[in-house]
Amino acid sequence: MDIAFPTLVTFLIYLALMIGIGVATYRLTASLSDYVLGGRSLGPGVAALSAGASDMSGWLLLGLPGAIYASGMASAWIAIGLTLGAYLNWQFVARRLRIYTEVASDSITVPDFLHNRFEDKTRLLRVLSAIVILVFFAFYTSAGMVAGAKLFEATFGLDYTLALWGGGVIIVSYTFLGGFLAVAWTDFIQGMIMFFALLIAPALAITTQGGWSETVAQVGAIDVSYNNILSGMSLFSIVSLAAWGLGYFGQPHIIVRFMAMRDHRDVPTARLIGIAWMVVSLFGAIAVGYTGIAYYADNPLADGEKVFILMSTALANPWVAGFLLAAILAAIMSTISSQLLVSSSALAEDIYKAFIRPKAAEAELVWVGRLGVLVIALIALLIAGNPDSKVLDLVSYAWSGFGAAFGPVIILSLFWRRMTSTGALAGMLVGAITVIVWKPLSGGIFDMYEIVPGFIFCAIAVVVASLLTRPSQRVLETFDTAAERWNAVER
């Protein structure tokens, strides 16, 4: 049976379910807080899988397998760094951020939290953080659009441009309707689909190759270096790949899940679920790329990022293949919808409400948010117009931008009482500019992943600028109030 028909049916069933959730949650979205934070109602399971699914995106099933296919196990340092970073984010940031955002005037967005945390009367923190979100999410969202276009192009033989715009329309629809609740619940379902797909696909591939030992032998026969995680690696390059984990502390679409949890006491359960899901999913993605080296030894792929797609269609029953390919769509949609939502909330809450219409009604703000989804999606589609775009390249740039601009700022704002708004502003500027300037350079020290210098320089700027200024007494009192609450839990 041709793969196109079963895949089309599977996609249609899946998409109908996603849009159905969007329609159902449309009626539950009455205020901007509902639209961008779901009324702080997420349980631990939904919060954990929503954070994981919105984090991993199309790079988990396209970018990471493609990197392993191209260079072997040495690229697994990315997964190691990500797992460590995600765990530390859940361990040290999640509970404190959930408590502090409620104490700091019930903040509902990252710019809102920074504005309220430091009582920034200049409102520069709100503006700059909103601009950083809009700029880097334009690139991040475009990565998902590219992944979707590659999926439709490879599966249905569509022209890249048609696949890109058709996929964009589908992805935007339920985010436009249901807001955060639609995104969180669809993320939960999408996370489960991705989880099972990343168990099934490598199992099929390894079985076809004659088992794991035989697969390792076949890969080693092609190039023994593919089996060595240290092959061609220096301390410099290991740090550069593992540094992906630093990005977690500053990803707005991930940390907003912490803010949306119904109770900070749910964090340990959510952490356990989220990290277990992540470890299994990353291992599955690595296994797909690795077995692809042996499977396509006689006919190497021109685009390694399509290894999951092509192996699924080649090895699985057409209906199972349809499910596996739907998992790619799930990964893409879960992340894009989260990114569009955070971007639209920055427009509605942090620009429109803060500067244009301070007394705007809640219903008006919700519609501004929905229109923001459309505008940002359009910009991302235009960026993604190049069919030669690489998913991993686009993701790595946006990931480093957020990690360097927000990571140290978020961490220090939760742990350092003495931090000031000037410090936060300086750190954010230095981190973002470092990434933008560092990225085009190459050779020597500049081959280091830009998140490393960006993160370091941001942290230094925060500390230096904060020591040169002083926080107000009210800011200190608010920090003490939050500290009392989280210390009572952590004892």
Q: What is the DSSP letter of 353?
A: I
Query: Rounded to whole angstroms, how far apart are CA atoms 240 and 77?
Result: 9
Residue 485 lies in a domain: no
Does residue 36 contact residue 181 with C-beta atoms inside 8 Å? no
Q: Give, in degrees to the nearest 5, the angle at Cα 471 between 126 and 490.
A: 85
Q: Which of 65-69, 178-182, 448-452 has the lowest mean pLDDT?
A: 178-182
Which one is predicted more confidently, 468 or 34?
468
pLDDT band at 196 (very low <50, low <70, confident <90, very high): confident
- Cα 435 to chain center, whole Å? 18
- Cα 11 to chain center, whole Å? 23
Which one is predicted more confidently, 32 or 470?
470
DSSP 311-323: HHHHHS-HHHHHH
Query: Rounded to whole angstroms, how far apart are CA atoms 389 and 397?
Result: 13
Q: Which of 154-158, 170-174, 191-195 has the lowest mean pLDDT?
A: 170-174
Query: Rounded to whole angstroms, how far apart are CA atoms 15 and 376?
Result: 21
Does residue 404 contact residue 434 with C-beta atoms inside 8 Å? yes
- The conformational region for residue 72 under phi > 0 = left, psi -120 to 50 = alpha, else beta, is left
Query: Rounded to whole angstroms, how far apart are CA atoms 401 and 381?
Result: 20
Residue 185 has pLDDT above 80, yes or no: no
Residue carrying structure tokens 């700059």? 128
Q: Which of 21-25, 107-111, 468-472 has the lowest mean pLDDT?
A: 21-25
What is residue 36's predicted lDDT score, i.e. its pLDDT? 57
Average pLDDT over residues 96-124: 90
Query: Rounded to whole angstroms, how far apart are CA atoms 353 and 93?
Result: 28
- Phi/psi for 205 (5° steps) reads -65, -45
What is residue 460's predicted lDDT score, i.e. its pLDDT? 98
Residue 438 lies in a domain: no
Query: Rounded to whole angstroms, how far apart are CA atoms 366 and 152?
Result: 32
pLDDT (tens digit, 9 = 90+) per residue, 365-398? 777 877 877 888 888 888 888 777 777 688 888 8
What is residue 366's predicted lDDT score, i.e. its pLDDT? 73
Does residue 175 contact residue 186 with C-beta atoms inside 8 Å? no
| CB atoms near residue 378 (< 10 Å) | 11
Q: What is the DSSP letter of 42?
A: B
| CB atoms near residue 72 (< 10 Å) | 24
Which one is predicted more confidently, 432 or 146?
432
CA dihedral 284, 286, 288, 294 (to 10 degrees): -140
What is residue 186's predicted lDDT score, i.e. its pLDDT? 73
Residue 382 lies in a domain: yes
Average pLDDT over residues 243-256: 90
Residue 408 lies in a domain: no
- Cα 459 to chain center, whole Å? 22
Residue 30 has pLDDT above 80, yes or no: no
Residue 143 lies in a domain: yes
Residue 341 has pLDDT above 80, yes or no: no
Residue 255 lies in a domain: yes
Neighbouring-strand partners of residue 261: 42
Residue 180 has pLDDT above 70, yes or no: no
Query: What total number of domains does the chain contain?
Result: 1
Query: Rounded to whole angstroms, how far apart are CA atoms 125 and 76?
Result: 37
- Angstrom CA distances, 381 to 148, 166, 199, stand at 11, 10, 31
pLDDT (tens digit, 9 = 90+) per residue, 264-309? 889 999 999 999 999 999 999 999 999 999 999 888 888 888 898 8
CATH number of the domain within which 380 lies = 1.20.1730.10
Boundaries of domain holding 68: 4-391
- Phi/psi for 81 (5° steps) reads -65, -40
pTM here?
0.86
| CB atoms near residue 464 (< 10 Å) | 14
| Helices within 209-317 (DSSP H only) | 212-222, 235-242, 252-259, 267-295, 307-315
Can you count the helices (H) and strands (E) in the chain? 20, 0
Does residue 153 contact residue 365 with C-beta atoms inside 8 Å? no
Q: Which of 92-106, 146-160, 269-283 has the lowest mean pLDDT?
A: 146-160
Query: Rounded to whole angstroms, how far apart are CA atoms 232 and 228?
Result: 9
CA-wise closest residue to 466 among 426, 434, 438: 426
Residue 463 lies in a domain: no
Does residue 176 contact residue 367 with C-beta atoms inside 8 Å? no
Long-range contacts of 428-433 (CB under 8 A, 24+ apart): 428/125, 428/128, 428/129, 428/132, 428/458, 429/128, 429/461, 430/457, 430/458, 430/460, 430/461, 431/404, 431/405, 431/406, 431/407, 431/455, 431/457, 431/458, 431/461, 432/132, 432/401, 432/404, 432/405
Tokens (6 digits) for 321: 């293949």
Helix axes 124-156, 318-347, angle to 10 degrees: 160
Residue 417 lies in a domain: no
